[in-house]
Structure 1
Amino acid sequence: MNTKLTTDVDYCAKLLQNGQNIAIPTETVYGLAAIITNEKALKHIFTLKQRPQNNPLIVHIHELAQLEALVTHIPEQAVRLAKAFWPGPLSMVFPKSKLVNQVISAGLETVAVRMPNHSLTLALIKAVGTPIAAPSANPFTRISPTQAQHVLTYFDQQIPAILDGGSCQVGLESTIVGFDQEQPIIYRKGGVSQEAIEAIIGQVQVAKSNSAIKSPGMHLKHYSPTTRLILTEDISAEIEEQRSHYQHIGVISFSSFNHDKAEVIKVLSQTASLAEAAQQLYQTLHDLDQLQLDVIITKALPSHGLGASINDRLQRAKFQ
């Protein structure tokens, strides 16, 4: 089975309706999709990704009427967040209805739902006629895909089609917000900043990194290149230390950086834009991971706005 890159929504809809898995574009990252009514296709997502069975999937919808069928309760804060950020890079966790297969919820009594901000995928969900479940289209713990080509590298000849929607505009997975007895809590930082959420509903909690898994995206090791990644407070000092062990050193810098002992330096944003840095992060990791470097060195970005989400990804991607 050769994997086809296509922009044909109807063709992809038919594949999903027939119980196939395909890759879909979103504004965050590419997803590996199945319709929510086909248990075999849902289980195959876990097989393809080598994903732990306790890691839930996110359900994607194209209109709010689909949400009402998936959940049994919608908190008032969730309504406000949906009005502010849907379609967009925000997932919310709700008590699930009987329509949601236990494979999707990984045995939990909740389901994570979002409305992606990508015209092709919204049209696809509408054409399919049912919501679709889709985690990121990468093997478990590997770098998330922000281009169709990334997905092809991972899953060529394992899925029939990739709906090619170009480069992902946000470049980080969705922020995931749940409601613990109506108290909003961020389970995963992502494409909507904590500050933006708090501007709509007031103060929110952030789940601790060692918390029990209550939503997708809570595993500690994730988003990782095969090349060793070191997260440091001083890139120049780290280069000097690593030079005694390694010859081929790559650097990821938020803004301009120079060092004559680094083999390659990738700058996430020449203008120090956190939004641009987020969009470029995974592409940069993919690029460096192809260069057969001994080590990649980087440091945390400013911890406000999307910088906090980027730092979360670097923390999970680093060598452990």
Structure 2
Amino acid sequence: METRIIAAEDENMKEAVAAASELLAQGEVVAVPTETVYGLGADATNAAAVAKIFEIKERPAFDPLIVHIASVKDLDQVATVPDDIDKVFQKLISAFWPGPLTIVLPKVASIPDLVTSGLDTVAVRQSGNRVFRGIGRGFGKPIAAPSANRFGRISPTSATAVMKELGGRIPLIIDGGACRDGLESTIIRIEPGEKRPILHLLRPGPVTKKELQNFGRVVVERKRLIDEQPDVPGQLASHYAPRTPLYLFDKPADFRPEKGKRYGLMSHKGDPKAGYVGAHDWAVVESLSPGSGKLPEAAVRLFHVLRTLDEAGLDAIVAEPVTDTGLGQAIMDRLRRAAVNR
């Protein structure tokens, strides 16, 4: 199969939206940009189309998908909002939609069981990416769209990365440029509480725990069992991983290099004072946020840096940890699940 790329620039936005919408209507899959990572989209109401996502990604059928809506008014095509959480739900979507927050809700009958892996709940969000939302409006139906990569691999944040992952497997990639956030969306489940609503943080992401605490009591779910069916997308223990083995060490002294092997370092900001840069004669050093160590920049560059090191012909990659707070919590979540020594 030949994979076309259409750049969704202002002068040909209509062409990109029309091409993607037409293929989606035909039950095909299309790689589309979001503000988080590139997604592999299909008609969320068409089980046969959704099955192609699992086949192309080589994704296990027990791992559910996120469904995207173009507008809040389309929510009833996907899910219902129980009365006892409606008030906090409205506050959350007013603050974070469109944007990188996914909310788990009871699904409606028109969403196939394949989308939710047989669960009676569905993970839903409204993307803030104008290209994705344009395609959603043009298509007119909800779109199921996990990350546009082979299962368990590094999530793509550019059209080029999608082509490397899925070229020849899909008919079309819509190039919307680099992703703004670079990390998959935050996922939560809402539960009514006696005094305040309870927000179960199922996957950390660009919307942080601190931000969510303005709307309820946040409970961080730590379950990461690979032999257990996940109740939302992105919970499997091994995920976001390069082909090259990646090791995550709490301190530089924990690293014990083997003679004759080529190691690359993924540094936080390339600061020798942290102890990692000078711990070994690295074949390659890549920094997430050179010099400044800013977490938003580190999040945007995470998958790009992982992919760069993965393509450098190394025997192993060593990752320097970042602070495990705020946006750093989401970065560390991805690193822990990419690491072979988690």
TM-score by length of 1: 0.95
Q: Name the CA distance, whole Å, in 1 between partners of 2:180 and 2:315.
A: 30
The code of the aligned residue for 1:230 comes to Y
C-alpha deviation, 1:238, in angstroms: 4.6
1:303 to 308, 324, 339: 324
Deviations 1:91-147 (CA, angstroms, capped at 9, x unpaired): 000011112111111100000001111111100000001010000011111000001
Secondary structure of 2:213's aligned partner = helix
C-alpha deviation, 1:263, in angstroms: 1.2
Partner of 1:121: 132
C-alpha deviation, 1:190, in angstroms: 1.0
C-alpha deviation, 1:203, in angstroms: 1.8
Q: Name the CA distance, whole Å, in 1 between partners of 2:39 and 2:334.
A: 17
C-alpha deviation, 1:70, in angstroms: 1.7
Q: Name the CA distance, whole Å, in 1 between partners of 2:242 and 2:89.
A: 34
Q: Name the CA distance, whole Å, in 2 between partners of 1:128 and 1:310.
A: 33
Q: Name the CA distance, whole Å, in 1 between partners of 2:120 and 2:260.
A: 48
Q: Name the CA distance, whole Å, in 1 between partners of 2:223 and 2:282.
A: 32
Partner of 2:264: 250
Partner of 2:311: 290
Q: Is residue 178 of structure 2 the alignment partner of residue 170 of structure 1?
A: no
Partner of 2:238: 221
More moved, 180-189 vs 245-254: 180-189
Q: Is residue 116 of structure 2 the alignment partner of residue 105 of structure 1?
A: yes
Question: Runs of 5+ in structure 2 lacking a partner?
Answer: 9-15, 272-276
Partner of 2:11: none
Identity %: 38
Partner of 1:53: 61
C-alpha deviation, 1:234, in angstroms: 2.1
Deviations 1:243-299 (CA, angstroms, capped at 9, x unpaired): x34431100111123336011111111211100000000000000000110111112
The code of the aligned residue for 2:286 comes to K
Q: Is residue 46 of structure 2 the alignment partner of residue 38 of structure 1?
A: yes
1:147-296 to structure 2, matched below 5 A, reads: 147-180=158-191, 183-199=198-214, 201-210=215-224, 213-235=230-252, 237-239=253-255, 241-242=256-257, 244-257=258-271, 258-259=277-278, 261-269=281-289, 270-296=291-317
Secondary structure of 1:141's aligned partner = coil
Query: Does the aligned pair in 1 maintain the 2:78–2:142 contact within 8 Å?
Result: no
Query: Does the aligned pair in 2 maintain the 1:238–1:297 contact within 8 Å?
Result: no
Q: Name the CA distance, whole Å, in 2 between partners of 1:291 and 1:246.
A: 16
1:19 to 27, 33, 39: 27
Secondary structure of 2:264's aligned partner = strand
Q: Name the CA distance, whole Å, in 2 between partners of 1:48 and 1:2.
A: 14
C-alpha deviation, 1:161, in angstroms: 0.3
Partner of 2:340: 319
- The number of aligned residues is 316
Query: Does the aligned pair in 1 maintain the 2:265–2:320 contact within 8 Å?
Result: no
More moved, 29-38 vs 70-79: 70-79
Deviations 1:62-114 (CA, angstroms, capped at 9, x unpaired): 11111123212252222111111111111000011112111111100000001
Q: Name the CA distance, whole Å, in 1 between partners of 2:224 and 2:270.
A: 34
**Aligned-residue RMSD, C-alpha:** 1.4
TM-score by length of 2: 0.89
